[in-house]
Amino acid sequence: MSDNLRDAQVRKLAFDWLERQTMLHGDVLPRDLLSQGFQFQGQRVPLVAPQGIFRPAVLPEMPLTITTSPNSPYDDSFADDHRLMYRYRGTDPTHRENVGLREAMKRRTPLIYLFGLVPGRYLPVWPVFVVGDDPDRLQFTIMADDRQSIADTLLAGADREAEREQDVPRRQYITSAVQVRLHQRGFRERVLKAYREQCALCRLRHRELLDASHIIPDNDPRGEPAVSNGLSLCKIHHTAFDRHFLGIDPDGVIHIRSDLLAETDGPMLQHGLKEMHRARLTMPSRVADRPNRDGLAERFGRFLEVQG
């Protein structure tokens, strides 16, 4: 088997494996799963390793994944509104890992970008391409692309040179969407981690049923994606909070709308809402992560207005 065909087969398997895992687990995956990876001709192929630029043993020359540490500020990953960046390994442009990424740029080879959101959890973005190299700033420029168009051409070994000009607007659009998704998923993961992956009202612990709710809405200029502007809520209580079925005062006391307290309905209303009246939020351990009192006061004021 030629090195080029082997490379293409491994990448295609990696992309297909990620597609299946994100369908099963959502688009944020645990490091343990990424470390386990998939099988290629009897060999295990992990997607993540201690080094950020990672070439598994089954690949002859070029990396398969690049990884951003969850401890890095998100702005470090954004070159501008439609481009991402990735810093060199160290300060030597000729380090073998930097050379590997440079070769991927030269050959227009698709990669996987693993964005660390919180320790142990990553948002995989694929395919991405290295489209620029800046030795003075010690960084590469990265753009995301459409999954299907790459899947259709990867194994065929098609020459993509003729498509480069028309690729740019599509890649800009997709990369901008990736940036939005990174902020959204990053906010959710940080909020859920602060609340120990449970609903702050009912303590439900199934993360698939949990959301990160903004106290000051994210469409408000002050609605920043900070943990102190978030609440970990199950989907029922998130909707109830957004629709003012319940309010939370600055002391973290839960208030259920008065007309609902007088209403008779099934067990969800009784146990899921009415019994929450006058209970208190489950708070994060870190004081800095606890809900901002001014934000809660403003949001509670809206709840009182709706109640009349």
Q: DSSP characters for 187-241?
A: HHHHHHHHTTSS-TTT----GGGEEEEESS-TTSTT----GGGEEEEEHHHHHHH
| Residue 88: predicted pLDDT | 94
> Does the pTM of the predicted model rise above 0.75?
yes
Where are the domains positioned within the chain?
3-192, 197-307
| Residue 200: predicted pLDDT | 98
- What are the C-alpha distances in Å from 133 to residues 32, 98, 125, 140? 31, 10, 20, 4
Residue 195: both structure tokens together: 């609340």
Strand partners, 255: 247
Q: Whole-angstrom Cα distance, residue 308 to residue 296? A: 18
Phi (first) and psi of residue 143, to 5 degrees: -135, 145
Residue 296: both structure tokens together: 């809660």
Phi-psi region of 26 (alpha: psi -120 to 50; beta: other; left: phi over 0): left
- Helix or strand (DSSP H, E) at 122: strand 121-134
| Residue 167: predicted pLDDT | 81
| Residue 221: predicted pLDDT | 86
Single-letter code of the amino acid located at 51: Q
| Residue 152: predicted pLDDT | 59
Single-letter code of the amino acid located at 172: Q
- What are the C-alpha distances in Å from 158 to residues 5, 64, 142, 237? 12, 19, 21, 50
Q: Whole-angstrom Cα distance, residue 308 to residue 302? A: 10
- What are the C-alpha distances in Å from 116 to residues 29, 69, 189? 10, 5, 10
Residue 278 has a CB neighbour count (10 Å cut-off) of 9
Q: Whole-angstrom Cα distance, residue 55 to residue 131? A: 19
Q: Whole-angstrom Cα distance, residue 249 to residue 232? A: 16
8 A C-beta contact, residue 115 and residue 125:
yes
Scored b (16 or more CB within 10 A) or e, 47-73 reads bbeeebbbbbebbeebbbbbbbebeee
Give pLDDT tens digits for 39-76: 999 999 999 999 899 999 999 899 999 999 887 544 45
Q: Which residues of the chain have pLDDT under 70?
A: 1, 72-76, 149, 151-165, 308
| Residue 223: predicted pLDDT | 87
192 three-state secondary structure: helix
Q: Whole-angstrom Cα distance, residue 154 to residue 126? A: 13
- Tell the residue number behind the tokens 């209580």, with chain if given: 237
